[in-house]
């Protein structure tokens, strides 16, 4: 008597085993998971660390994420190029090629006057940046 289980009891035991197995698997997964709290002032590089960790330890970025970051990367590059070019002007560091300075600084067609439409004119700015970046005079601006 009492050696066998009813169908309800068997189902309850199976549910209990399944719940226990799920809890054990979740516990093992949580034990392998590392959580990191990044503290720091604004613009101190917290999200940069997260992005680098994603590139290193995950599959990287999807094509859609790359498209989202493309405008940001272009904008940062352009802002940096413009800052260097303006600093060169203020520090009276020549371009090495006077015609380049004319294209950058003078007249309505100067590159600096077209910053707002720089994505349309990316090619000329990029060629200037590559040329300027190869110059030792730019290094002295840093």
Binding site residue list for Mg(2+) = 47
Going from the C-alpha of 87 to that of each of 10, 23, 107, 114, the distances in angstroms are: 80, 61, 19, 18
Residue numbering of the annotated binding site for GTP? 43-48
- For the purposes of burial, counting CB atoms within 10 Å of the CB of 86, is it exposed (0-12), middle (13-18) or buried (19 or more)? middle
CA quadruple 96, 99, 100, 106: dihedral sign:
positive
Q: CB of 101 within 8 A of CB of 88? A: no
Closest CA to 81 of 140, 119, 138: 138
Residue 100: which of 115, 88, 116 has the closest Cα? Answer: 88
Annotated binding site: 43-48
Question: What is the Cα–Cα distance from 54 to 31, expressed in whole angstroms?
Answer: 20
């Amino acid at each position: 008597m009492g050696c066998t289980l009813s169908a309800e009891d068997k189902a309850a035991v199976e549910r209990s085993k399944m719940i226990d197995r799920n809890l054990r698997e979740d516990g093992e997964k949580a034990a392998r998971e590392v959580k990191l709290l990044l503290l720091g002032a604004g613009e101190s590089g917290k999200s940069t660390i997260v992005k680098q960790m994603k590139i290193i330890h995950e599959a990287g970025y999807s094509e859609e994420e790359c498209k989202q970051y493309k405008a940001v990367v272009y904008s940062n590059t352009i802002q940096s190029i413009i800052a260097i070019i303006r600093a060169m002007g203020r520090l009276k560091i020549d371009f090495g090629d006077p015609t380049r300075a004319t294209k950058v600084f003078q007249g309505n067609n100067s590159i600096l006057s077209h910053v707002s439409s720089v994505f349309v004119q990316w090619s000329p700015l990029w060629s200037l940046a590559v040329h300027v970046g190869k110059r030792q005079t730019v290094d002295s601006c840093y």
